[in-house]
Amino acid sequence: MGGYYRPAIDEAKWILKINKDDNLGARYHLIFIYALMGDEKGAKQLARKFKYDMQSTRFLLAFSMLYYYLRDRDKAFEYAEQLKARNKDIVKFTDIMCDENGDLSELDDLSIPEDAYQPDTGSDLYTLYDDMPMLLATRHQYFRWLQTSLKRMH
């Protein structure tokens, strides 16, 4: 799998090199690629560079996914707990991602503010899916695990 993502990783790293503040959001694509590849070292390096994002919906979801694929369910669960505390819409988002019929039209029902995008809300999850549909839509196994885990939490 790494060979398919290597050009994307190189491109994102180049963007981050020339655009230090990353107002294009390349870090969000890169963190999910690292998660899918099981590249803990790359993910941690990126998290150190963007410390302020470590508690964001996107990074928490990516780290939960990363540790799920590394078979460290305890760490995956820890990040999932933080994610649930950070973004109440993650439960509905996960239910939508697990829909047996593949009906993603319910993404429109997430609590999206009328005026603009806001981080750590339904609009963040909607935008995440809109930006990376193939990275997320093919992760049924992870989202089924996450769905079960979220229901076990208080």
| pLDDT-above-70 percentage for the chain | 92
Please give the mean pLDDT across all residues of the chain. Answer: 88
pLDDT for the residue numbered 135? 72
Q: What is d(CA 18, CA 56) in angstroms, rounded to the nearest whole number?
A: 23
Confidence of residue 5 (pLDDT cuts 50, 70, 90): confident
pLDDT winner (highest mean) among 65-79, 83-97, 109-123? 65-79
Half-sphere exposure of 93 (CA within 13 A, CB side): 28
Distance from the Cα of residue 59 to its chain's centroid: 6
Asked whether 44 and 31 are in contact (CB, 8 A), the reply is no
Nearest to 80 by CA among 70, 95, 69, 65: 65
Q: Using one digit for the tens of pLDDT, what is the confidence trace for 93-145?
A: 999 888 877 677 777 777 666 667 788 888 888 888 888 887 777 788 999 99
Segment 30-54 mean pLDDT: 95
Residue 113: what pLDDT?
Answer: 64
Does the pLDDT at position 58 exceed 90? yes
